[in-house]
Amino acid sequence: MMPKLRGAAAPLTLVLLAFPVCSSTAETHGRSVAVNEKYKIDERVILDVQKPGYLNFAVDPATKAPHLLISGFQAFGKDHLTSITGWDRGLTSTGELDTAVLNKEITWPNEARMVESKIFSGEGLLVAGGFLVPGKSTGAVTFVPWNHPENAVVLTTPKKGWYYHRTEEWDVNSDGLIDLVTARGTMPMVGKPDGELIWLENPGPASAGMPWKEHFIARGPDVHFRILNHALPASEKDLPLTIISTEFSTRKLTVLRRTEDGNFQNVVLDNTLGAAFDIQLNDLNADGKIDLLVTNHEPDSKASVFGYEFDPYTLKILKRHTLLTGIETRQKGIKQASPGTILAFHPTLSAGNASSKPWILVSGDGSQRAHLLVPENENGAENWSYREHVIWNAESTVGQSTVGDLDGDGRIEIIIPAYDKNKVAVFTVTPLKLQSPRRR
Ligand SMILES: [Ca+2]
Ligand SMILES: [Ca+2]
Ligand SMILES: [Ca+2]
């Protein structure tokens, strides 16, 4: 999410707003939209949440209860990392939800996600933070223990004016301890913006709690990136560490591949896509090969979502497909642009869906909308056409949305934050009852 500075326009009264950040008051709506012949999207509930920026879905490691994680931030005053659970009592029974502020000390929390590896002695969240807002631009990567979130540990050494949006796990130095890869950016008032991809060396249990040693990988990546190796099928696991980055400030999509001498080969994949923003790795056209799903962040008709067919061996783009373009930016103010983050997902939890084309959820950011792209053709690998559905006209900056089965009924929820409106909307993907009978 790239919320913009509004200078003095940000109301100082926000500082005085007391927690809780999520109140039990909520609107319920009955809006329902069919998105194809198999599914409809039902609007379930709209929650009041203070300045929700990034949403993430997490599962309690012990109880397996689904949690909605909310990274909330604002120009003045404390930010918050909040968890909402208790959804199994009914999505619309908002008075029954359990809301907990996990941490109020992390500056401008961006992406917060459950650690996948046994890096730390217990389960917990990795939070990337900071943004180009005065007083909040020196960010950090923080580990928040799940059972004791008050005992958060900062893993990065403070670097003035640099902020973080994402972390991924990889044993970069092959010592058996999983390390962290992250990108950081800076946009100083005077001077040029800059970015760098780094990895943080896991020191092992002996020095737990200390900042991790930083290792430089490359200059340029400033916001988002993905480790390709996580997405590759088992047959391609032999490829060296390969990181694909969206470089926002230098306006290009690049790939970095580790060479035998331990350095990284740097290849520009596309320098014509505009200000590159988010990236996900998915098999978009269901042909068995991983594709690159990328957004840019542009104020005008160049605002787009792209799908790239890509050869992981030669590091060459085979074809770029424009999945959505001309996304209108409606948010007023300087430097407003669209879209924001992107997420490919399957509309049901059933295993058979893994081989079909995913849907694509586009958080609009300055478009003030959440856009859902549904494949026109479920199977044709050559068909890259999507039908766009505006599933929520938030009339507010839309931060990072997420998906997951919140209430455990087997149906996927789509959860969308309206940052300026202090709202979070919950939708359910519901199979249509009247499906054509299956042929035997
Ligand atoms: Ca390591
Ligand atoms: Ca593919
Ligand atoms: Ca559900």
CB-CB contact of 107 with 79 (8 Å): yes
Give residue 208 CA to ligand 1 midpoint distance, Å. 14
94-104 pLDDT per residue, tens: 889 999 999 99
Give residue 201 CA to ligand 1 midpoint distance, Å. 6
Residues 6+ away with beta carbon under 8 Å from 9: none
Residue 352 has pLDDT above 90, yes or no: no
Residues 341-368, mean pLDDT to the nearest whole number: 91
**Which residues lie near ion ligand 1 (Cβ < 5 Å)?**
171, 173, 175, 177, 179
Residue 7 has pLDDT above 60, yes or no: no
Residues 6+ away with beta carbon under 8 Å from 64: none
CA 138 to chain centroid: 20
Residue 19 has pLDDT above 50, yes or no: no
Give residue 413 CA to ligand 3 midpoint distance, Å. 5
Provide the pLDDT for residue 207: 62
Give residue 412 CA to ligand 3 midpoint distance, Å. 5
301-328 pLDDT per residue, tens: 999 999 999 999 999 999 999 999 999 9
Give the ligand whose atoms come closest to the C-alpha of residue 308: 2
Residue 18 has pLDDT above 90, yes or no: no
What's the CA gap between 86 and 59, in Å, rounded? Answer: 12
Radius of gyration in angstroms for the set of CA atoms belonging to the chain, rounded to a whole number? 21
More confident call, 332 vs 378: 332
What's the CA gap between 109 and 72, in Å, rounded? Answer: 7
Give residue 281 CA to ligand 2 midpoint distance, Å. 10
DSSP letter, residue 235: G
Question: Percent of the chain at pLDDT above 70?
Answer: 90
Residues 212-228, mean pLDDT to the nearest whole number: 97
More confident call, 233 vs 59: 59
Provide the pLDDT for residue 209: 67
Torsion angle of C-alpha atoms 398, 294, 37, 39, degrees rounded to 10: -50
Give residue 345 CA to ligand 3 midpoint distance, Å. 14
Give residue 110 CA to ligand 2 midpoint distance, Å. 29
Give the ligand whose atoms come closest to the C-alpha of residue 171: 1
Residue 26 has pLDDT above 70, yes or no: no
Residue 8 has pLDDT above 80, yes or no: no
Give residue 406 CA to ligand 3 midpoint distance, Å. 5
Nearest of 286, 298, 290, 294 to residue 323 by alpha carbon: 294
